[in-house]
Amino acid sequence: MRTLEWDREHQQLKMIDQRALPGELKWLTLSTHLEVAECIHTMAARGAPAIGAAAAYGLALAAARSRAANAESLKQELRQAAARLGATRPTAVNLAWALKRVMAKSEGFAGSAAELAALTLAEAERIANEDVDANERMAAFGAALIRPGETVIHHCNTGALATVDWGTALGVIRKAHEQGKGIRVLVDETRPRLQGAKLTAWELQQYGVPFEIISDNAAGYFLSRGEAQRVLVGADRVAANGDVANKIGTYMLALAAHANDVPFYVVAPTSTFDHAVASGKEIPIEERDPAEVLELEQDGMRVAPAGAQARNPAFDITPHTLVTAFVTENGVVYPPYEKTLRELKAGQ
Ligand code: MRU
């Protein structure tokens, strides 16, 4: 299941609307980079690698719709489009990484506007295809770490939906299941937007992986009873020292795993590693609309009293000391991370 598809005939981007799941598998057809920006902002497209690829295709759309008479004018339009797309969400580095990649090709280009448009699309397609390839490689490395019969706790959604296809942490789970390891998954519901209960549960149903949804605050209970042997999460950005920005709640999960001697793995492609930030302290954390917290309903009634205030950080930072290992497309990376992540970058 590919989350994003380029329609060559109409020069449009087809994208799964993640807001409609699990009720409906709905495809959006996008014609402009402004529509892509809106989709990223409103989380029709979400998940670090997926928003990176969507943004790259956004530049391809800007180029396809442009009436620029020459490459220099088109480059100027692409710079503006990149600024707009880059401003949609701050934490996942894949967004800036993908835009930078396409823009580097554009800036270094000499030729016609039509050739530049083709080059922009080719780079977006490369980013998307490389993501799928990286995920398949991570799945193989990660599945080798999982023993038959284990129960894995998973946070947020890191599956095909969060990437271009296959997924990161959920890709590992899927691969281990396909290898016949007989695993089970405890799916953190992932408040407040419930990516686990909605999207991960939906994906696991498609793949036939046995799972149960748990409230986020139940993870410690299962870990303390020895009912989960491994924790697998993705990442939105990894700092040079190995600190991890990921979906809010990841830090508490990592603390609970550490306290119970349960291995905690972060599955992320090298495009998610930001060697320019020394530690998690430098990673910008998106604060979203408090309405996402306040507008929860039960029995048809809003839970929070009228007038209540809320805070809604979308991500948190898990210190590298709580991470057992990183699973990347280039292999499994263990501490000391300052050294091993530097080696990972050097090997790229
Ligand atoms: O706010 P979201 O849903 O875009 O956050 C996504 C996550 O935090 C994922 O866990 C992360 O992107 C890794 S997914 C490949």
pLDDT band at 1 (very low <50, low <70, confident <90, very high): confident
Q: What is the pLDDT of residue 99?
A: 98
Q: Which of 203, 161, 109, 176 minimizes the C-alpha distance to 2?
A: 161
Q: For residue 144, give every residue at least 6 positions away whose Cβ sits within 8 Å of its Cβ, in sequence order, or none.
A: none
**Cα 314 to ligand 1 centre (Å):** 9
Instruction: Kindly state the percentage of the chain with pLDDT values over 70.
Output: 100
Calculated CA dihedral for residues 196, 202, 204, 208, nearest 10 degrees:
160
Q: Are domains 4-135 and 138-346 of this chain identical in fold?
A: no
Q: What is the pLDDT of residue 164?
A: 98
The mean per-residue pLDDT over the stretch 36-41 comes to 98
Residue bearing the CA closest to ligand 1, atom 6: 47
pLDDT tens digits for range 106-155: 999 999 999 999 999 999 999 999 999 999 999 999 999 999 999 999 99
User: For the chain, where are the E strands, in sequence order?
Assistant: 4-7, 12-16, 27-30, 151-154, 184-188, 211-214, 230-233, 237-239, 244-247, 264-267, 273-274, 297-298, 301-302, 315-318, 325-328, 331-333
**Cα 109 to ligand 1 centre (Å):** 33
Q: What is the pLDDT of residue 264?
A: 98
Q: Looking at the CA of residue 46, tell me the nearest atom of ligand 1.
A: 4
pLDDT band at 179 (very low <50, low <70, confident <90, very high): very high
CA dist 236 and 315 (Å) reads 8
Q: What angle do CA 270, 238, 153 make, to 5 degrees?
A: 95
The mean per-residue pLDDT over the stretch 98-107 comes to 97
Q: What is the pLDDT of residue 348?
A: 79
Q: Looking at the CA of residue 314, tell me the nearest atom of ligand 1.
A: 1
In the residue annotation, 236 being an active-site residue is answered as yes
pLDDT band at 29 (very low <50, low <70, confident <90, very high): very high
Residue 79, amino acid: R
Pick the CATH number of 138-346 from 3.20.20.80, 3.40.50.410, 3.40.50.10470, 2.60.120.10: 3.40.50.10470
pLDDT tens digits for range 274-301: 999 999 999 999 999 999 999 999 999 9
Domain ranges of the chain: 4-135, 138-346
**Cα 156 to ligand 1 centre (Å):** 6
- Please check whether residue 235 is in contact with residue 167, taking contact to mean a CB–CB distance below 8 angstroms: no
**Cα 259 to ligand 1 centre (Å):** 24
Q: For residue 81, give every residue at least 6 positions away whose Cβ sits within 8 Å of its Cβ, in sequence order, or none.
A: 33, 58, 59, 62
CA dist 50 and 309 (Å) reads 32
pLDDT tens digits for range 212-222: 999 999 999 99
Q: What angle do CA 140, 143, 148 make, to 5 degrees?
A: 145
- Whether 233 has a pLDDT exceeding 90, the answer reads yes
The residue whose CB lies within 8 Å of the most ligand 1 atoms, and thus the one to mutate among 89, 157, 327, is: 157
The residue whose CB lies within 8 Å of the most ligand 1 atoms, and thus the one to mutate among 43, 156, 267, is: 156
CA dist 162 and 48 (Å) reads 7
Judge residue 176's burial from the number of C-beta atoms within 10 Å of its C-beta, 0-12 exposed, 13-18 middle, 19 or more buried: buried
**Cα 169 to ligand 1 centre (Å):** 11
The mean per-residue pLDDT over the stretch 7-18 comes to 98
Instruction: Kindly state the percentage of the chain with pLDDT values over 90.
Output: 99
- Whether 105 has a pLDDT exceeding 90, the answer reads yes
pLDDT band at 52 (very low <50, low <70, confident <90, very high): very high
Q: Which of 108, 131, 109 minimizes the C-alpha distance to 55?
A: 131
Pairing of strands 237-239, 244-247: antiparallel
Rg (CA), the chain: 20
Q: What is the pLDDT of residue 347?
A: 84
Q: Looking at the CA of residue 195, tell me the nearest atom of ligand 1.
A: 3
Residue bearing the CA closest to ligand 1, atom 8: 247
pLDDT tens digits for range 188-230: 999 999 999 999 999 999 999 999 999 999 999 999 999 999 9
Residue bearing the CA closest to ligand 1, atom 15: 158
Q: What is the pLDDT of residue 294?
A: 96
Q: For residue 321, give every residue at least 6 positions away whose Cβ sits within 8 Å of its Cβ, in sequence order, or none.
A: none
Helices then strands, each counted (H, E), the chain? 12, 16
- The set of protein residues with a Cβ atom below 6 angstroms from ligand 1 is 46-49, 92, 156, 158, 162-163, 168, 195, 234-236, 246-247, 314
**Cα 309 to ligand 1 centre (Å):** 25
The mean per-residue pLDDT over the stretch 44-69 comes to 98
Residue bearing the CA closest to ligand 1, atom 5: 47
Q: Active site residue: 236, 243, 274, 316, which one?
A: 236
CA dist 99 and 53 (Å) reads 9
Is 2.40.30.10 the CATH number for 4-135? no
Judge residue 8's burial from the number of C-beta atoms within 10 Å of its C-beta, 0-12 exposed, 13-18 middle, 19 or more buried: exposed
The residue whose CB lies within 8 Å of the most ligand 1 atoms, and thus the one to mutate among 19, 42, 46, 173, is: 46
- Return mean pLDDT, the chain: 97
